[in-house]
Amino acid sequence: MTTPAAIRFLPVDAAALLEAGGRIAVLVGGDGRLDPAARRLDRAMKGAVARFVGSDAFGKLKPGEAADLAWPAGLAAEAVQVVRLERKTDVITARKAGAAIGRALGKAGATVLAGAHPRAADVALGLALRAYDFTEHRTGERVEPGPVAIMVAQPERMAAAAAPMAALAEGVFFTRDLINEPANVLTTDDFAARLAAMQELGLDIEILEEAELETLGMRALLAVGQGSDSPSKVVVMHWRGGAKGEAPLALVGKGVVFDTGGISIKPAAGMEEMTMDMGGAGVVAGVMRTLALRKARCNVVGLVGLVENMPSGSAQRPGDVVRTMKGDTVEVINTDAEGRLVLCDVMWYAQERFKPRGMVDLATLTGAIIIGLGHENAGVFSNDDGFCDAFLAAARAEGEGAWRMPLGEGYDRQLKSRIADMKNVGGRPAGAITAAQFLARFVKGETPWIHIDIAGVAMPPAETALAPKGASGWGVMALDRLVRDLCEGK
């Protein structure tokens, strides 16, 4: 990945600002008032900043948007970027303002004049998130963004406020890196190794191999990966930051490192994007990394089922019947509806072993959710109104789109099988709902549960406010906020 080399908070220094190379970004409110350092900058530019701020062009900028004054006379900088941002603004707009700076960041770096703006830490987070780029496999010259200095009135206080946001950014980057990686690099073995490396952060990591999964009865999960040379695994990541013995929150992720559809093979067009079918596992991994880095005061366990869905002589077939860890049998109608077979076993294992206070599963599960919600919102399903409302509030607070979808016994009729306890698909109508209804059969009555279908938001087709085209990292911020709200009272 490519991210800013460093972001530092420094005291406001007008003289240093005039000598700064790279880019200079100045935060200006809608009233157009310039603080003393900005006025000195403006004088050096012979009034160019004031003229722009007084123009119709500035008036047309929405809060969080920016415009460039290129090659300013009287300065060493290559451009002065005027960013419109009110002092009284929300977190999301402040991050968008930072993203406007991060989008234009080059190898020469930038100096941001934030002064006494109370949202400078959020500006820094937005800048870092948008400056990310996945460059691991480019052999040509890489443009590594240079360092960023943010000049503020109280640098030590702002640096302290930004510290947990730095942990959050690293979690998002980790998720994006995992989802962006091609499947010949991010095999199940490589994925598990990257998670095992997080032991150095204080996470307890356990890798369950195929023999143990067979003993546990995870035959639905194993059936998905039986056609691949890559071994199926379950990785357990445990963060013990709360009271000893207190039930953890469980996060469960679908980790299909590549999905051909199996024997029910997908069309060739667009199949290359199925490297992102481990997106749910990627989000869980990123959240666990964030929690460890910021030393969260909560017990959280993350579990991911890592498999590859390939067609071969040993692959499962349409018409096969598999037995889940719970003991229920499933008639496999379509081998491309494999994610729910992975999740059902890992979800049951999470409840049997950890007896969690609540459970959230995430998966790039259905194309149907994209038809329903597009790329703006993830689909959210739940058996507990209070738990679901807490997550939706967390997602809103972090600016990550999420929309609640229904569950209901009426949808169960679509899952009836002639020869087994259920089918793994319910047909085209309400496809995202019947997938969630399938998973609901593997949730114990006492377990508050949320299922999040992230198929539309994990890798949207265009850049977003805080991410370039590619993996968005959606969900890391919302789930970190949920942990703060439920466990830490923040």
pLDDT in tens, 35-72: 999 999 999 999 999 999 999 999 999 999 999 998 89
The 10 Å Cβ neighbour count of residue 116 is: 11
Q: Which helix (H) or strand (E) holds 207?
A: strand 204-208
Q: Do domains 7-153 and 171-488 have the same CATH topology?
A: no
Please state the rounded mean pLDDT for residues 335-340.
98
19 φψ region: left (φ > 0), alpha (ψ -120 to 50), beta (else): alpha
List 266, 396, 404, 444, catalytic entry: 266
User: Which amino acid is located at 66 in the chain?
Assistant: A
Better-scored residue on pLDDT, 74 or 170: 170
pLDDT higher than 80, residue 142: no
pLDDT in tens, 72-84: 988 999 999 999 9
3-state secondary structure of 360: strand
Active site residue 130: no
Q: Tell me the percentage of the chain whose pLDDT exceeds 90.
A: 94
pLDDT higher than 70, residue 3: no
What's the CATH code, domain 171-488?
3.40.630.10
Nearest to 134 by CA among 125, 143, 126: 143
pLDDT higher than 90, residue 114: yes
Active site residue 340: yes
> Encoding tokens for residue 370?
């994209």
User: How does residue 259 score in pLDDT terms, banded at 50, 70 and 90?
Assistant: very high
Please state the rounded mean pLDDT for residues 149-167.
95
> Encoding tokens for residue 107?
């190898």
The 10 Å Cβ neighbour count of residue 465 is: 17
Backbone angles phi, psi at 440, to 5 degrees: -60, -25
Backbone angles phi, psi at 377, to 5 degrees: -140, 145
Query: Could you state, in order of their start, the residue ranges of all structural domains in the chain?
Result: 7-153, 171-488
> Encoding tokens for residue 484?
């703060």
At CA 445, angle to CA 372 and CA 481, rounded to 5? 55
The strand pairing partners of 80, in sequence order, are 24, 69
Dihedral of CA atoms 41, 45, 47, 52 in degrees, nearest 10, equals: -90
Please state the rounded mean pLDDT for residues 143-161.
93
Which positions ≥6 away from 387 have C-beta within 8 Å?
A: 358, 448, 449, 450
Please state the rounded mean pLDDT for residues 343-372.
98
pLDDT in tens, 268-321: 999 999 999 999 999 999 999 999 999 999 999 999 999 999 999 999 999 999
What is the pLDDT, as a whole number, of residue 116?
A: 94
What is the pLDDT, as a whole number, of residue 390?
A: 98
pTM: 0.96
What is the pLDDT, as a whole number, of residue 139?
A: 84
3-state secondary structure of 152: strand
What is the pLDDT, as a whole number, of residue 4?
A: 65
Q: Which helix (H) or strand (E) holds 38?
A: helix 36-44
Eight-class DSSP state of 62 = P
List 176, 340, 423, 481, catalytic entry: 340
Please state the rounded mean pLDDT for residues 326-333.
98
The owner of tokens 């948008």 is 130
Exposure class string for 12-26: b at 16+ Cβ within 10 A, else e: bebeebbebebbbbb
User: How does residue 6 score in pLDDT terms, banded at 50, 70 and 90?
Assistant: confident
What is the pLDDT, as a whole number, of residue 108?
A: 92
What is the pLDDT, as a whole number, of residue 2?
A: 53
Assess contact for 113 and 12: CB atoms under 8 A: yes
Better-scored residue on pLDDT, 70 or 238: 238
Which positions ≥6 away from 217 have C-beta within 8 Å?
A: 323, 324, 325, 327, 345
What's the CATH code, domain 7-153?
3.40.220.10
The strand pairing partners of 252, in sequence order, are 303, 361
